[in-house]
Structures are given as structure tokens and as C-alpha cells.
């Protein structure tokens, strides 16, 4: 059995809820969830919940030495392993909810792409909302947030809550086709045009993106996959 799989299983046995899956994601899902990373320029890419690096590897390949890649992992064993294996990645042992503060501390601009491997289904409603609020606050206006959900659980209350939250927080939410070649099969949400605040709601603590509320024109679509598989 590959060491990545052993490490993942061991962490699942120790902390099943925080780990959120019994095995790392496969390459087809990693390709799909990272497809929005620009080929040119110096994008800031943030990865949430990298685990043993299934998405990290593909993000690094797509960046090809350009831009910057920050990975926030709450599990110290995973964080240490990642930092060893991916010296080109800034691995932070941190909660995803701390993202806006961590960018501000480093004087970094809003992220162009945020890729999440977080286990949304095991988070409480409050935790889910807190982390999504941080994502919206830390994402560039023209940035993309991608995350995934398991196909078998898509109608469960936490998965429906995630979809509802995404539709509230982004003007565009495109649900990609199911990636059957993943264990278990999963689908990717591609979210664009973050909505910073709604009338009557408070802005994020940093106040870095005081753009106007854009409550209209939201869409939840099943649409074509973004290009560049």
C-alpha cells in the first residue's frame, strides 16, 4: 500500500471527523478541481485541507514554478508531511477560517484561485458558514473558488446546506459532471463572483473588499466543465 494511503488511513483512524474521508482523492478529481488555475501570470493559489497532497501535486504542476501556493492544513502530521514533500508550497498548520488574517499578515493580495479539499459534510452549520465567509473575504473579485462533494451524499442535509450557502455567497455556481473515477465518486462546484455582503449584513473583519452588494443574478447551474482538463 502506498505511504500516502497508509498516512491517510492512520489519520482517519485517529480523527475520522476532522479527516473527513478514508482515502485521498484520485487524480481525475484533482485535475477537475484545479482546472481554473491560470496558465500565465503569477497567481496566488490557496489550498484548504490538502491532506496528503492529492490536489497539491496537480496545483504545483499547473503553476510550473509561477505564482505562489499557500496550503492551510489543520492536522499537524499532514502539514509536516506536506512541507517535506512540497518545498515550493507555503504550508501553514492552520484552520481554513483564519485565511483572511493569514493573507493580511503576509501582505498578500486576494487569492486568484481557492481550492478546497475540506470535509464540509462533517462541519456544523456555523463552521461551514464561518469558513465560507473567510473564502469570500479572501478571494479576488475575478477569482474562482472550487470545492467538491461526494455524489452519494449530495442530498444529505449538510451537502444541501453547502450548495445553498454557495448560491448565497457567489453569483455563479456551476456544478460539474460527476467524477466517477474517484472513490467515492464526487462532483466539483466552480464558484465565481463572490458576494461580499448583503444589505443588513456585516462585512468581513478585514474590510478589504468593500465592493457593492450584488445580490441579483445568482445562478446555480449544471453546466459545461471549465476548459483545460
Ligand X SMILES: C[S@@+](CC[C@H](N)C(=O)[O-])C[C@H]1O[C@@H](n2cnc3c(N)ncnc32)[C@H](O)[C@@H]1O
- The residues binding ligand X (CB under 6 A) are 18-21, 24-25, 48-51, 54-55, 72-75, 78, 95-96, 117-119
CB nearer ligand X, residue 100 or residue 193: 100
SS (H, E, C) 57-72: HHHHHHHCCCCEEEEE
CB nearer ligand X, residue 50 or residue 143: 50
Distance CA 69, CA 44 (A): 6
Distances (CA, A) of 47 to 5, 44, 152, 207: 20, 10, 24, 22
Cis ω for the linkage preceding 184 (within 30 of 0): yes
20: alpha, beta or left? (left if phi > 0; alpha if psi -120 to 50): left
C-beta nearest to ligand X: residue: 117
Question: Smallest distance, Å, CB 219 to ligand X?
Answer: 26
Question: Smallest distance, Å, CB 21 to ligand X?
Answer: 4
CB nearer ligand X, residue 37 or residue 72: 72
Question: Smallest distance, Å, CB 228 to ligand X?
Answer: 20
CB nearer ligand X, residue 128 or residue 172: 128
Question: Smallest distance, Å, CB 86 to ligand X?
Answer: 13
Q: Can you say how many angstroms the Cα of residue 176 is from the centroid of all Cα atoms in its chain?
A: 15
Amino acid at each position: 500500500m502506498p505511504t500516502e494511503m497508509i498516512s491517510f488511513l492512520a489519520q482517519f483512524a485517529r480523527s475520522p471527523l476532522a479527516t473527513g474521508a478514508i482515502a485521498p482523492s484520485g487524480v481525475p478529481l484533482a485535475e477537475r478541481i484545479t482546472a481554473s488555475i491560470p496558465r500565465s501570470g503569477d497567481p496566488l493559489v490557496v489550498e484548504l485541507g490538502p491532506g496528503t497532497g492529492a490536489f497539491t501535486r496537480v496545483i504545483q504542476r499547473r503553476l510550473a514554478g509561477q505564482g505562489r501556493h499557500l496550503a492551510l492544513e489543520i492536522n499537524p502530521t499532514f502539514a509536516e508531511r506536506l512541507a517535506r514533500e512540497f518545498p515550493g508550497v507555503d504550508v501553514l498548520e492552520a484552520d481554513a477560517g483564519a485565511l483572511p488574517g493569514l493573507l493580511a499578515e503576509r501582505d498578500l493580495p486576494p487569492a486568484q484561485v481557492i481550492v478546497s479539499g475540506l470535509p464540509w459534510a462533517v462541519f456544523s452549520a456555523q463552521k461551514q458558514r464561518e469558513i465560507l465567509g473567510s473564502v469570500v473575504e479572501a478571494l479576488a473579485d475575478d477569482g474562482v473558488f472550487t470545492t467538491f462533494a461526494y455524489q452519494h451524499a449530495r442530498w444529505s442535509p449538510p451537502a444541501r446546506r453547502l450548495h445553498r450557502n454557495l448560491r448565497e455567497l457567489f453569483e455563479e455556481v456551476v456544478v460539474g459532471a460527476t467524477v466517477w473515477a474517484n472513490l467515492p465518486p464526487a462532483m466539483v462546484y466552480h464558484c465565481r463572483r463572490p458576494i461580499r455582503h448583503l444589505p443588513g449584513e456585516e462585512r468581513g473583519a478585514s474590510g478589504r473588499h468593500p465592493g457593492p452588494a450584488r445580490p441579483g443574478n445568482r445562478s446555480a447551474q449544471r453546466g459545461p466543465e471549465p476548459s483545460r482538463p
